[in-house]
Chains A and B, each alone.
Chain A
Amino acid sequence: MEPPAEYEGHTDEELVRGLVLGDARSLEQISVRHARPAYSLALRMLGDPGWAEEVVQDVLLRLWRKPELFDPARGDLRKWLLTMTHHAAVDGLRGRRGTARSFDAGPDALDLLPVQDDDPADSAWRSLQAESVRRALASLPREQREVLELAYYLGLSQAEISRRTGQPLGTVKTRTRLALSKLRDSLRQAGVDG
């Protein structure tokens, strides 16, 4: 099923306005445009194609039903969809492990921050391709990358990571901090150079 060609020229914001009017074609175009990276993320986290599809569809349907959830002033649509997909997948994983809601789920952290428009970090990521992020991740020492991935993609707490890897909690925390600050620095650099 292909959405009508005229929708290809629509901006994300126009498509979201279409959702407000109940236009299913706009949803179709949003899916064609943005579902793939969201699905890739969900699959990386959940490891199950059926589950990943369900999670991403739930996120898209939630946008369909409440398009006002997405505020263009706070970032672009793809970013929002990925954030929501991450939350939903972490919820799913924690639910399955029976650790739902025992700890804070992260990027709401950023709700405290001013709108990102004039933040240099924002333009930094915009100039980054997914590939350079992967490279930055790949350049981390293996043990740092491991704790980072367990925390972010599997939603594990530091204590859970400690149990799983057999490393002391302090070591896990140190590695996570190091991993994150290195990643931040290489993203910054990519932003400056790119």
Chain B
Amino acid sequence: MKCEQVRDEIPLYVLGALDAETAGRVREHVRTCDACREELASYSEIPYALNLAVPDEPLPRGFTTRLLERVEPASRVAAPVPIARRRSWWLPWAVAAACLALAVALGVNTWRVNAELAQIHDELYAQRDYDAQMSALMSRPDIVPVVLQSSRARVRGKVYLAPDRSAAVLMVSNLPRLRKGQVYELWLNAPAHRVAVTTFVPLENGSMRFYLSPPDGLKPYKSIGITVEPAGGSPAPTSPRVVGGEL
């Protein structure tokens, strides 16, 4: 691309209005051309100015409260979490929170810090991989569905186990709304020990899904259960299972 063409494209580039190929050529050019890079820099504050130029709207009532309700209680410093609880092999999954859940589960190496856009791309790709992983498991003809028992009338729970028990998807629905200061906690029970997998707050509609792939698989675990616990979780269940069963 010649300088003249690049100059023409720069305003569109800044707005994000170029197709990927043309944008790539502009990027390539400004990497090596000081004059055009300077021209690009002269537009660098435009996006921010446009971000500010919108009509000022008041935040909806309760915005920050609802935001804080979405913060996983287990990740707050206010209620210190035992190291054993921080497992990377569980993955809460829900359509609305899918990307963010991934951010928790996949860890640092997947992302390039400070390359924000690249990051969104990566996340989408990771998301797709994850969806693929999950639907690959769910669509296996030999998958083993296990219906869980519930102590509450409307609560439903089901585990879909890979036949080799390497991974599973847990789906629960109609979980009752929690009172303030409470969370649900997910447990896996082996004959000799118990693992507190994670605490969680279900989606608005009371549903939650988890993708479970412990390093040692699910073979060691004989049962699974969900209880209501004080915020931050408990070292051992302190209330009867809301839903659970043998694996």
Chain A residues near B (Cβ < 8 Å): 1, 21-24, 27-28, 31-32, 35-37, 39-41, 43-44, 49, 53-54, 56-58, 60-62, 64-66, 68-69, 71, 74, 79-80, 82-88, 90-91, 101-113, 116, 119, 121-122, 124-125, 128, 130, 133-134, 136-137, 148, 151-153, 155-158, 173, 176-177, 180-181, 183-184, 187-188
Contacts and interface: CB of A to CB of B under 8 A. Distances in A.
B58 to A, nearest CB: 7
B154 interface: no
Given A27-B71, A66-B103, A187-B46, A32 B64 contact: yes
Contacts of A136: 49, 53
Interface in B115-149: 115-121, 124
Contacts of A80: 116
B27 interface: yes
Nearest to A191: B45
Of the candidates A22, A36, A91, the one having the most CB atoms from chain B within 10 angstroms of its own CB is A22
Contact of B46 (A22, A68, A155, A180): A180
A105 B44 contact: no
A1 B68 contact: yes
Question: Chain B interface mostly helix, strand, loop or mixed?
Answer: helix
Interface of B: 8, 11-20, 22-24, 26-27, 30-31, 37, 40-60, 63-68, 70-71, 75-78, 96, 99-100, 103-104, 111, 113-121, 124
Given A57-B70, A104-B23, A116 B63 contact: no
A41 to B, nearest CB: 5
Nearest to B104: A65
Given A106-B14, A133-B50, A183-B49, A112 B67 contact: no
B11 A41 contact: no
A104 B118 CA distance: 11
Given A1-B64, A49-B60, A79-B51, 14 more contacts: A21-B77, A24-B71, A31-B63, A39-B60, A66-B111, A79-B48, A82-B51, A84-B116, A103-B23, A112-B40, A122-B45, A128-B49, A148-B50, A152-B15
Contacts of A180: 11, 14-15, 43, 46
B63 A62 contact: no
15 contacts: A28-B64, A35-B63, A37-B52, A40-B56, A49-B60, A61-B67, A61-B100, A71-B113, A82-B48, A82-B51, A102-B19, A104-B16, A111-B117, A133-B52, A152-B15
Contacts of B8: 177
B212 to A, nearest CB: 20
Shortest beta-carbon contacts, A-B, top 9: A106-B16, A108-B117, A104-B23, A22-B77, A180-B11, A44-B54, A82-B51, A130-B52, A133-B53
Contacts of A32: 64
Contacts of A53: 60, 63, 66
